[in-house]
Structures are given as structure tokens and as C-alpha cells.
Structure 1
Amino acid sequence: DGNLDNINNWEGLVIENNKLIGLSIENKGITILTPTINLLEDLTILRLKDNGLTSIPNELFDLKKLEELSLSGNSAIIESDDFLPGLFSLSNLKELVLDQFGIGEIEGIGALTNLEKLFVENTSLDNIPSDIGQLSSLVELSFINGNFFEIPEGFFALNNVESIILRDNENLTTLPEGFNSLEKLTSLTITGSQGIQTFNRSIFGASSLKKLDLSNNNIGFLTTVDGIIPDEIGMLTQLTDLNLENNHINTISTRIGELINLKTINLSNNMITDVPKELGALTILDVLDISGNLQLNEIPEEVCTLEDLGAIIISEGECGDLRVSSEYSYIESEVGVIALFFIDVTLDAVIDPIFIEGDGPFDVDFGEIGFQIHEVNISDVLIREDTPDQVLVFESATQQFINGTNNLSFELISPSVPNKDLAEGRTYRVRLFNTEFSNVKTYLPAYELMVLD
């Protein structure tokens, strides 16, 4: 109707002082971008995500005020000879997103000296540009699912970079020394590169790091020496989050106890046998995940008694005197419930109490009670294909999880008192186990049991 009174509320437009400064055309199926886009000379933000663009008109590069440009999700774009020179002439750019974008190189990007955020994901990029070190204003950098084999030396000239993500770059096999020169680096993620088989010790010299994620690599695959978390880790005193899951790590340096700011540690699915008691010095630790370390020995009492520990997730071990029986076994071929982590409910009350009347003994037939396990983590290594991912509800109607057996019993594990001496109104810790097979007790997680008045 020609009424432009509400233009400020139009979807995808940002109006300031009666000027169009922001335009978002995302997932609209646009295949051609009109050359007259250069008439929007005040644009500072242009987002063209997830369209079917096949080319970019040179006129777009007349928008010299652009500070944010997203061309992601346009994989059909065919580069012209003028594309990269035009792109790199946008000297005011602060954020550039090239995700699922038909581009094979970005050499020359060093001209964008005002760039603060660069996200390059799911492209056919063969190399990280050698002039990347010229991006002196860069704060956030992400290269995901690329084809490059190495990181150029110029990478370590990024003096202002705070966050680096290198994820799922399968061809990346080595990391050069130099991470310790990135003095402002607070978050480093290098994951999903199976060719990375050793720790890069210069990483431990990046003293400002708060988050370190080296998960899903192959660290320690070749030799046991490579699988040792080195003593240099003690230098990362600002670290709050450490993720080393899905590697071949076998030994934790005792100096990990010096990382007093750690809140989350994930060492799951490695080859760790012993947890150092020095972890008990991490007084603000909230989550410790060491599940999937199949040869894990008893966890030191110093770790189990951490007051602020919200969750400890383990699979073949228990805290202090709450040990798994030496007869413990998963026996995958015979028992359906074989991949549940033991969760210490004294540290993380994710499991509902079981209420049973009487004073024992507690040999309870499966069909006589109903109880629930909420949000139980399940091992990716030992999970059965027909086992749910997150929530298991054990009732008489769901006996298929234990192959139909009713041979379940309770075993008192804490405190250590005879069944006949259980006091009414008190809560005890028990373990439920399957007794169908005479040669082994197949344990499920520990539960709380309250003897009612």
C-alpha cells in the first residue's frame, strides 16, 4: 500500500537514521544477485546465507562500508578471476563467513587488516593462506572440515587472536611449534584430526588458555610415551575446561593438580589406568568424566571427596570404598544392559531414590518394584545398538533390557552394616546386580535405598 511507516520492523532489514545499513537474505532460494546491490552504499552488514547463488556480481565489492559479510551455504558459486581481489578490497570488513562456499583458496586475505572474525567451514580449501599472519586485528578464527595438511608459520603472528577452532581437518597431521607465542589465546580447539598423534608442547606455553579441546584425535596411538599428558600441562594455570576424550592417552601428569581453576575435565574413552590423587587439589572442579577407560583402577579418595564436584562419570571403578567387585564383567553377548556408567549419587543426585518397605534382606524380584534411572550417560564404546541414548526406565514392562531375566538382587555397599541392622528412616547405598549367570555378577549403577518407618 506504499506505507513505509513500519519499514524498521521489516524482516531482514536494519535501518539507522533512515539509511539501510543491514540486509539479511537467508534461505530464500535466490540464485542471482542483482548488480544494482551497489546502490546500497551505506550497507555495513550483508548476509546471504543458504541461498542458491551461482555467482557474485563484481558490483557487490563497491560496498566499501561493509563490516560483516556472510556468503555461507552457497556451494554452487563459481569463482571468477575478479572474486578474490574484489573480496579483499573490502578493507573495512570485521567479520567474514565462508561456510559451504565454493572456494578453493583465500590467498591474499592478509589485505583485510581490520578483520576480527574469520569463519571458513566446509569448503574445498587446500591451504591456510600464507599471509594469514597479516590479519593483525583477528580475534576469532575457525577452519572446519578443510583439506589442508599443515599450518603456516604466519599463523603464529596473530597477536590478538583469542579463539582458534581447527575441527575435522582430516589431512592435518602435524602442529608446528609456536602456540606459546599467542599471548591472548584463551580458547583452543583442535579436534577430529586423526593424523595428530602427539602432544604439541608449545600449546602448554599458551599461558592465557582457559579452554583446551584436543578431543577425537589420535594422541598416543603410535607409542605409549606419546600418550602421556606431559608435566608442562601444569603451566596452564588459567585453564577452566580441559577435553582430551577419544584419544589413546594412558597417563595423567600429577601436575594437573596445579590447574586450580579447572571446572570441567573430560578424559573419557582413553587408556588411562590410574587417576592421580593430585586431582583432589582441584577444589572448584565440577565435572570429571573418565568413563570408557576400561582398565581404570580405583579412584583416590582425595578425588571422590571433592566438595564441589557435581558429577563424576566413570565406568569400571568406584570412589574410595565403593569398589566394583573383582568379578565385575560386562559380558556383552549375554546381558543387554552392559554399558551404563556407575554414577556416584552422593556426588550427583541424578537417580531417583528407591523406596522399599521392610528391613531386608533385599533380594527383590524385578517384577515386584518399579524404579527409574534418569539421564544416565552411556558409553559410546560399549553401547548396544538397541539401547536408548539418554533415558532408561526400568519397569516390569521393559524387561528386554536385561533379556527378560528376573534375577535381580540388591547388594548393600554403603555403609557397611548387616541387612538386619538397617535403621528405619535412613538412606543407604545399594547396587543392583543380575544373578542369572552363576559365574559373574553383572552390576548396574549404584542407587539410594530408604528404609521406611
Structure 2
Amino acid sequence: MEIVPQCVWRINVDVPEEANQNLSFGATERWWEQTDLTKLIISNNKLQSLTDDLRLLPALTVLDIHDNQLTSLPSAIRDLENLQKLNVSHNKLKLLPEEITNLRNLKFLYLQHNELACISEGFEQLANLEDLDLSNNRLTTVPASFSSLSGLVRLNLSSNQLKSLPTEISKMKRLKHLDCNANLLETIPPELTGMESLELLYLRRNKLHFLPEFSSCRLLKELHLGENQIEMLGAEHLTHLNSILVLDLRDNKLKSVPDEIVLLQSLERLDLSNNDISSLPYSLGNLPLKFLALEGNPLRTIRREIINKGTQEVLKYLRSKIKDERPSHSDSVTETAMTLPSESRVNVQAIITLKTLDYSDKQTTLISDDVFDAVKSNIITSINFSKNQLHEIPKRNNFLNFLPEEMESLIRLQIINLSFNRFKILPEVLYRILTLETILISNNQVGSVDPQKMKMMEKLTTLDLQNNDLLHIPPELGNCVNLRTLLLDGNPFRVPRATILMKGTAAILEYLRDRIPT
């Protein structure tokens, strides 16, 4: 069909032929007097144009004209004020008529696979829009005024020619799904990483060299970054991805994976294929991964035969290496006699750029003043003292300018990693650092925690107590309802049993709450 028959446009106007015949129709049978047409589907034809007769159908809520040969839309589209869904995908539109901005009730607008090079002025007036698909066009920019589309839940901008995104996009407070695959993006505005509602983010096949810190994307479930030129994945990129299920980093230039990958305790799929990774952190073995892709990396620490056996065998191997790494008593004697570490062994670059004091894997029983001197006046949000032989948090009377006199005054501290040390209790000072979001204290000798004090730590979402000496888990710990990740494996307690632990944090907390004495 190359043109729409006139009878279609006039279906609400003309009395049907059977009404003129000498027939008896009851009131309920006279359909032409009762309801105007609300849905018009004329897709998959060869239409090259629509006429202004479109205005004869003002009751339309759905207009589907996809897969035709339209090069424009008639100005009469302004009269379809009740329209909620408009599908003009797979046509040859080069411009949208200004009149489209009159469709104030529009919720779904599908414009993919056209030839659009720009967006009409006033487009932001479509305030009720929830789903907008502009993929596979010729867009080079997204207007800042898009931020006024505050009701938008899904936005597809993939397969265009975008070199940047406007910072104003972060004002879309309901946006859950953002697809920017296959563009020319070189950077991502930091504001985008503060979008609290975002659940799915697609950035594959772009020109990204760096990643921003995902500071507030706590609901983000899928992050697709494959086929870019990303060179570094750091702790700051992972810290806040509490809900992440899928992380796609294939076909980049990564050389390493940080230990903080263990923070992603919801992660099910991790694709690291075709990078430059030579070794993996053994802590990766503690993640609940269902799929791990490592092909195309120059890995030296894992034999090819293990990788070929699949995800679970790789994770099992990595976990076995964690146990092998645990320091022995003889090691502690040797290391204690060694000279204390100097400033030259502190990663100053990480302190400045990542806000991280990383002093891990030194096998020392003390932290020297030189370590703190290296930090000077820089702000620290993350401390990593893992893989040492510490018995207590280091205390100093002169924490210089960057650390107040007492550690509880670290008012910006969010993460502390004390794994693989020799703590016998959770250090008291930690309960007083109310900004803490993550405590990693696995592989120590911790025998108790204080649930009453921990309940006051309202920002704490991750607590890793694996492989300690906990004989008893206090039921009151179940009141720490802000915990999203509670890891208790590898302790000698009898309850909760393994079947409860396998169900995850929410089930553990519920089990404990049910056993609080009344």
C-alpha cells in the first residue's frame, strides 16, 4: 500500500453503508455512533507521505506507522492531543515537525532507524514522555534542554555520532535505562554517575579512555563498557556499585583488576576478554559469579587448562590461592625483625588521585610514621591495610594535617580493608566512624562483634567477616537492616547453618531477627 485509503481517515466522519440500508440496529450495535477510532496501525507498507486528513482522527491514542518510506510527518499531527504512543521507526525522516511538541500526553515515542540529524526545538515540552528511542540516526549532539524530560525512564541514543553527553542529563531523576552504545564518546560527564535511579547503562563501542567514579549509582545492575580504550580499573570505580549484576569490560586495554573487585558481592557476570591482564586478584574467587570470561588475556598466574574448564573451576582455583597466601607464624617472626617500611613503598599517586591510602601486603606488625607522612594534607576516603600482621589500628599523637588526632575523626572515610591481619576483635574505633560504608576484615582472628554499636552505623552496607574465629553470631545483628552484603563463611559457629548463608544477606538478617529474645 502506497497511500492510505480515504475511508480510513473518514471512518469517524462517514456513516457506514450498512447504516443506510433498511436494517434494524439496536443502540448497542450502532458502533459508528459510539466510539471514535483510538488505534491506527498502518506499518509495514510503502507509504511515502501522510496527508493532513490525519486530523480527522483526534481520538487516537496509538499511531503505529513503522517500516514505511516516510520522509516527513504532516503538521496536522498537532491535533492528535490524546496520542500516547507514536511509532515512526524504520522510515526516512530527516526532520521532526515542530507540531510534534503539541503531543503533551505522549508517553512512548519510537524514532529509531531514521535519518534525523538534530532534535526539534521545544522537544522538552513532551513532559509525560517515559520511553524515547532515537537509536540508529545521525545525531551529533543531544540538546541540554533534554533535562526537562523529567519523566523519562528509558532513553536509547545508540548508533548515532555523539561525541559527548550534556551534563544536564543527570537531571532526569527517573531514568533507569540509558543506551549510548556505538557512538563517538570520549568522556562521560561526572554528573551522569550521580544518577541514583539508573539501573542499566550501555556504553559499548565508543572511544572512552577513562572511567568516572560511579558515586551514587547504587541501583545500577548492568554496566556495559566493552570495545573502548579503557586503560585502568581502580577501586574508586567499584566502591559504590552495590547492586551490580553484569560488568562488561571486554576489548579494552586493562592491565590489572584491583583487589576491591571483591566489593561487588552481587556480581554474576564479568567479561574481561581481550585485555592486557597478566594476573588476577585471588579475592575474585569469593565473588558469586555465574560467568567469567578471560579469553584473549596474557594471563601468567592461571594455567590455560584451568580456564578451559570454565568459571567455577577458575573461582575454585583462585580461592585455593587465598588460603595459600595466609601468613604463617614463622613469617611473622621474620617480618617483625625487618626494617620498618619507608615512604618510598607507599603509592603516592593513589593517595592523590584515588584518595586511597594503600599499604597492603607488607607483612608488617606496625605502620610507621613515614606512611602517614606520605599522605600529608590529602583527603582520604579509603584505607587498605590488608595482608599485614596488625593486631590493632595504628595510633599516633601527631596525625599531621590529613588525619586528626583520633581516627574516629576521619569524617570522610568510607572503606577500610583490614583483611589478612591478626585482629581478635573488630576495632572499637571503627564503630565511631559513622561514614564507613565498607569494612573488610576477613582472614583475621575476630571472635566477636558488637551488634548494638554496629546498628548505629547507618551507612554501613558491606561487612566481610569471612574466615575468622566467630563462635557465635549475635541475633541482634539482624537489626542492622542497612547491610546489603554480610559475609560470614569460614567461621566456626554452628548457626546460622550453611543453607541459610547460601540464601544471601537478607535471609541471614531475617533469620537472626527471628531469634532475638523478647
Within a 5 Å distance, the mapping from 1:414-433 to structure 2 comes to none
Within a 5 Å distance, the mapping from 1:398-417 to structure 2 comes to none
Q: Deviations over 1:351-371 (max 9, x none)?
A: xxxxxxxxxxxxxxxxxxxxx
Residue 245 (structure 1) shift: 0.7
* Separation (CA, whole Å) in 2 of partners of 1:70 and 1:119: 10
* Separation (CA, whole Å) in 2 of partners of 1:268 and 1:53: 42
Which AA in structure 1 matches 2:301?
N
Residues 71 and 197 of structure 1, relative CA distance in 2, 3 Å threshold:
same
Aligned match of 1:427 = none
SS in 2 for 1:197: coil
SS in 2 for 1:156: helix
SS in 2 for 1:178: helix
SS in 2 for 1:132: helix
Within a 5 Å distance, the mapping from 1:74-89 to structure 2 comes to 74-75=91-92, 77-79=93-95, 83-89=96-102
* Separation (CA, whole Å) in 2 of partners of 1:216 and 1:54: 34
Q: Deviations over 1:214-254 (max 9, x none)?
A: 1111111xxxxxx2343440321111111111111111111
Aligned match of 1:157 = 171
Query: Could you tell me whether the CA contact under 8 Å between 2:43 and 2:67 is conserved in 1?
Result: yes
1:57 aligns with one of 74, 77, 82: 74
SS in 2 for 1:167: coil
SS in 2 for 1:255: helix
> Do residues 279 (structure 1) and 279 (structure 2) align?
no
Query: Could you tell me whether the CA contact under 8 Å between 1:121 and 1:142 is conserved in 2?
Result: yes
2:210 aligns with one of 193, 198, 204: 198
* Separation (CA, whole Å) in 2 of partners of 1:49 and 1:151: 28
| Percentage identity across paired residues of the two chains | 28
1:35 aligns with one of 46, 52, 70: 52
Within a 5 Å distance, the mapping from 1:163-242 to structure 2 comes to 163-170=177-184, 172-193=185-206, 195-201=207-213, 203-220=214-231, 227-242=232-247
* Separation (CA, whole Å) in 2 of partners of 1:39 and 1:179: 43
Within a 5 Å distance, the mapping from 1:284-303 to structure 2 comes to 285-298=289-302
Which structure ranks higher in relative contact order (CA pairs < 8 Å, sequence separation ≥ 6)? 1
Residue 20 (structure 1) shift: 2.5
Residues 48 and 310 of structure 1, relative CA distance in 2, 3 Å threshold:
farther
* Separation (CA, whole Å) in 1 of partners of 2:300 and 2:127: 50
Residue 98 (structure 1) shift: 1.3
Residues 287 and 204 of structure 1, relative CA distance in 2, 3 Å threshold:
farther
Higher Rg of the two aligned structures: 2
Residues 40 and 312 of structure 1, relative CA distance in 2, 3 Å threshold:
farther
SS in 2 for 1:275: coil
Aligned match of 2:438 = none
2:260 aligns with one of 252, 255, 260: 255
Residues 37 and 291 of structure 1, relative CA distance in 2, 3 Å threshold:
same
Structure 2: 5+ residue stretches without partners: 1-15, 20-31, 321-518
Residue 318 (structure 1) shift: 10
Query: Could you tell me whether the CA contact under 8 Å between 1:274 and 1:299 is conserved in 2?
Result: no
Residues 313 and 58 of structure 1, relative CA distance in 2, 3 Å threshold:
farther
Residue 273 (structure 1) shift: 1.3
Residues 256 and 43 of structure 1, relative CA distance in 2, 3 Å threshold:
same
Aligned match of 1:416 = none
Residue 54 (structure 1) shift: 2.4
Residue 290 (structure 1) shift: 1.1
Residues 310 and 238 of structure 1, relative CA distance in 2, 3 Å threshold:
farther
1:130 aligns with one of 120, 136, 144: 144
Residues 66 and 310 of structure 1, relative CA distance in 2, 3 Å threshold:
farther
User: Could you say which structure has the higher strand fraction?
Assistant: 1
* Separation (CA, whole Å) in 2 of partners of 1:135 and 1:313: 47
* Separation (CA, whole Å) in 2 of partners of 1:320 and 1:233: 20
Residues 37 and 102 of structure 1, relative CA distance in 2, 3 Å threshold:
same
Residue 299 (structure 1) shift: 7.1
Residue 55 (structure 1) shift: 2.2
* Separation (CA, whole Å) in 1 of partners of 2:196 and 2:39: 34
* Separation (CA, whole Å) in 2 of partners of 1:204 and 1:214: 17
Query: Could you tell me whether the CA contact under 8 Å between 1:64 and 1:90 is conserved in 2?
Result: yes
User: Could you say which structure has the higher helix fraction?
Assistant: 2
Query: Could you tell me whether the CA contact under 8 Å between 1:105 and 1:126 is conserved in 2?
Result: yes
* Separation (CA, whole Å) in 2 of partners of 1:135 and 1:262: 31
User: Which has the higher mean CA deviation after the structures are superposed, 291-300 or 57-66?
Assistant: 291-300
> Do residues 266 (structure 1) and 268 (structure 2) align?
no
* Separation (CA, whole Å) in 2 of partners of 1:291 and 1:318: 18
Taking only aligned residues, the RMSD between alpha carbons, in angstroms, comes to 3.1
Which AA in structure 1 matches 2:248?
N
Q: Deviations over 1:277-328 (max 9, x none)?
A: 1122223x2111111113342179xx99xxxx984698xx995799xxxxxx
Query: Could you tell me whether the CA contact under 8 Å between 1:231 and 1:253 is conserved in 2?
Result: no
1:48 aligns with one of 61, 65, 86: 65
Query: Could you tell me whether the CA contact under 8 Å between 1:231 and 1:254 is conserved in 2?
Result: no
SS in 1 for 2:134: strand
> Do residues 90 (structure 1) and 94 (structure 2) align?
no
Q: Deviations over 1:34-84 (max 9, x none)?
A: 321221111111111110112211112210111111111112x353xxx44
Which AA in structure 2 matches 1:218?
Q
> Do residues 24 (structure 1) and 41 (structure 2) align?
yes
SS in 2 for 1:38: helix
Within a 5 Å distance, the mapping from 1:301-316 to structure 2 comes to 311=311
Which AA in structure 2 matches 1:102?
E
* Separation (CA, whole Å) in 1 of partners of 2:81 and 2:268: 44
TM-score relative to the length of structure 1: 0.59
* Separation (CA, whole Å) in 2 of partners of 1:280 and 1:145: 36
Within a 5 Å distance, the mapping from 1:80-119 to structure 2 comes to 83-106=96-119, 107-119=121-133
Residues 204 and 266 of structure 1, relative CA distance in 2, 3 Å threshold:
farther
Q: Deviations over 1:160-180 (max 9, x none)?
A: 10111101012x211111123
